[in-house]
Chains A and B, each alone.
Chain A
C-alpha cells in the first residue's frame, strides 16, 4: 500500500536561510512518525508545507494521495493540524470554538453542535461550560486545539510540537489523547524536540537537523545504531570523576562522558560482561567509591549527540520532561 504521507527532496529557503535542504519522509497508513530535531531544524516548515500553508521551492509532497501544491483543497479536506501555538479563539468558550470551526467545515448548525458536544466529552472539556479559553490551562487549551482539528475525523493528523511549553500533567494529558487517536487508526506526523516524547509515541523516528533527515528508523533500531550498550558508573564523590573517567577509558577503549551533577561516568561498550567485570575490578583497585554500576541501552539524547556532533536544542539548564 502507498504511504499516507510522502515527501521527496523538499527544499525551502527564506532569504538566505535554508530551512529545508532536501527532506525525505514517508509515513505509512495508521502509523506515527516522530520528526525529532532541535529548534530551527525545519520541523515547522515541513509541517506547513504538508498542510498546504506554504509552498516548497523544490521537491514533492503528497498527503493521502493528493499533491499538496496542485490539490490543496483535497489535502485540506482530509487533514487536521495542531500548530505550534494553540490556534483557538481565546475570547470564546470551548463549545463556541468547536461550533464555529464546525460551521467553517460546512457542517449544519445542528451537526456542528452535536459534534462539538461529542468532542467536548471525548477530550474531557465538557465541564468547562462558558469559560473563556484564555482562562484554560495549557493542557486544556491543547486538548481543545486537538479537538478542533478532529471535527471532520481526519485520516491524517499533523501535530507540531504538541507538548512544548506544557507542564508534565498537560503533557501526559496530550499524550493520552494522541494514543487514543492512534488506536483508532489515525496516521500521525508529530514533531518534537523531546526525545522521550518521540520514543513514547512514535512507531518510527526521523531525526532532522538543518533541514534534512540524518537518521531514520524505529526507536529501538536508532538506539542500537549507536553501537549497543553503555556502561554507567555512578560515584559516591564527584571529586573522583576524573580518575574514574580514566579507568573507564582504559577498560572500554572509548572516550567516556562525565556528568558532574549526577556524579556519573558513561561510555559505550562492545563486550558487555567483560567490560562490566573489568570496570568493577579496576575501580576497586584504584580505590574509587562506586555507588552504582550497570549496563543500559543508550538514550535518544546520546543518539542525537552521536549523529550530529552537537547537543539538541534543550540544554541541561532548560526544563526537560520527565
Chain B
C-alpha cells in the first residue's frame, strides 16, 4: 500500500518546521522556557501570597494549571506561523503547486503537536524538580497528558483560523495580547471562588479551567474545591470543550482556507 500524498507532503511540511527549530533555535527555546519562567514566578514570587482553599501546597495546585496554560500559549505560535506564510505568499506557492491540498494543514498540525509535546516534557520536568508529583495511576496520568494535548489540538484549529483571518502583524500582536486575559481568567493560577461572582463564573466555564481541573483530578493534585456543575464534571468537560472548539473552528478554518480562492 502506498502512503497517501496528504501524509507524505504533510510530513515534508512538518519537516520544514523542524528545520526551522534547528536553524533558529532561539525562538523555540524561549517558547519552551517561557512557561518555566511563569512557574517560577508564580511558584516562588507570588506563591506565598496564594491561598487555595483546602490545600497548603500551592505548587501541587499550580502545575496542572501551568500545563494547560502552556497548551494555550501554543496557539499563538500556530497563529503566527499561519499568518506569516499567508502574508509572505508561501501559502499561495503551496496552493499553486500540484501537492496535496490538505498537506499544509496536516504538516502544521504535526509540527505544532510535536512542539507541544516538547513543551509539556519541559514544564513537567520543571514541575518534578519543584516537587510536584502525579499521584494517580499510570492510566490516569497518561489520561491527563492526553487531555492536555487534546486541548492543544483544539486550539490548533483556533490558531489556524485566526492566522488566516488576521493578516497583518499588528493585528497578530493584538490577538496575542488578548490571549493573556483569557488564560488568566481561569482556574490556572487561582480559585475562581476568590474572584467577584460573575468573573468567577466566566473563569469556571473557561475551557482552560476544565482541562486544568481534569488534569488536577487525574494527577491526584488538589483542586480548588468548586462545587458548581462545571467544576464537578471537569474530566467530561475537558473532553467536551476541545471537541466543541474543533467542531466550530475546524469547519471555519477549512472554509477560510477555501475562501482564499474566492
Contact = CB atoms under 8 A, between A and B. Distances in A.
A132 interface: yes
A189 interface: no
Interface in A82-132: 83-92, 96, 100-101, 103-106, 132
Q: With a 10 A CB-CB cut-off, give which of A85, A88, A91, A149 has the most chain B CB atoms.
A: A91
Contact of A76 (B9, B23, B97): B97
Interface string B80-98: 0000000111101111111
Contact of A92 (B5, B16, B89, B95): B16
A54 B95 CA distance: 10
A51 interface: yes
B12 A53 contact: no
Interface in B50-94: 87-90, 92-94
Contact of B12 (A51, A86, A88, A100): A100
A92 B23 contact: yes
Interface in B87-114: 87-90, 92-99, 103
Contacts of B261: 52-55
Given A55-B261, A91-B23, A96-B19, A104 B94 contact: yes
Interface residues of B, number: 26
A84 B98 contact: no
B227 interface: no
21 contacts: A53-B95, A54-B261, A73-B98, A76-B96, A76-B97, A76-B98, A77-B98, A79-B96, A83-B89, A83-B92, A85-B87, A85-B88, A87-B90, A89-B16, A89-B20, A91-B24, A92-B16, A92-B19, A100-B16, A104-B94, A132-B23
Interface of B: 5, 9, 12-13, 15-16, 19-20, 23-24, 87-90, 92-99, 103, 260-262
Given A105-B99, A149-B93, 15 more contacts: A48-B92, A54-B261, A54-B262, A73-B98, A81-B93, A83-B92, A87-B88, A87-B90, A89-B16, A92-B20, A100-B19, A101-B93, A101-B97, A106-B5, A148-B93
Interface of A: 48, 51-55, 73, 76-77, 79, 81, 83-92, 96, 100-101, 103-106, 132, 148-149
